[in-house]
Amino acid sequence: MNKHQSGFTLVEIAIVLVIIGLLLGGVLKGQEMIANAKFKNLQSDVQSYAAAIYSFQDRFGALPGDMTTAAARTQVNPAARGGNGNGRVDGNTCATAAEESCRLWQQLRYANLISGDPTQQGANANPNHAYGGRVQGAYSGTHGTRTGIWVALENVPGDVAARLDRELDDGVGGTGTVFCAGGCAGGNYPATGVFVQLRVMI
């Protein structure tokens, strides 16, 4: 008896390969969309903090964190802690509850300008950015020749930091309004998977 063996035709194999290609393309496109959404969220985080800080200043006539009469002026809760009123937001990492860069978050929350629990103090007061790292603080400072209010971000992926720098500034980690404060070599951002400390002037 002759054995008749059947197999896939070239057309069937081609169809399967096309389907696999479409599935892979969809997965890769989905990952790209997720990455872009995360990046846009990071940009939005920085912009929302800038808007909150300047809204506070417009409303109360003082920088958040620096305002001496925070408890009375926010008219939300007497537990809001005041600053020294020197026209600067002192500190930078919100390591202790006494730093103005830490009290800034509390005053913004008591004024209902950002979300979060205003009773949290010290490092617990720091919000998190889109990549899961802490927003260490917002403070008055100078990096290079730029003086202003900076938002300090920890644990930002190197490629994300480089992209943020390209889109908001000059693309060089050692200059401008987006400044790599740690994890960069000679102003060059590291590759994907390496985290850096970033300062963004708002």
| 102: Cβ contacts below 8 Å, ≥ 6 apart | 65, 91, 94, 95, 96, 121, 122, 125, 126, 137
Higher pLDDT, 169 or 143: 169
- The pLDDT value given to residue 9: 80
Asked whether 68 and 50 are in contact (CB, 8 A), the reply is: no
Question: pLDDT (tens digit, 9 = 90+) per residue, 45-76?
Answer: 999 999 999 999 999 888 998 888 776 665 54
How far is residue 172 from each of residues 138, 184, 193, measured CA to CA in Å?
21, 10, 19
- 118 pLDDT tier (thresholds 50, 70, 90): confident
- The pLDDT value given to residue 76: 47
Question: pLDDT (tens digit, 9 = 90+) per residue, 73-113?
Answer: 655 455 567 788 899 999 887 777 788 888 888 888 888 89
Question: pLDDT (tens digit, 9 = 90+) per residue, 162-194?
Answer: 999 999 999 998 889 998 999 998 889 998 778
User: Does residue 3 have a pLDDT over 70?
Assistant: no
Predicted TM-score (pTM) of this structure = 0.78
How far is residue 88 from each of residues 57, 101, 149, 186, 200, measured CA to CA in Å?
12, 10, 8, 29, 17
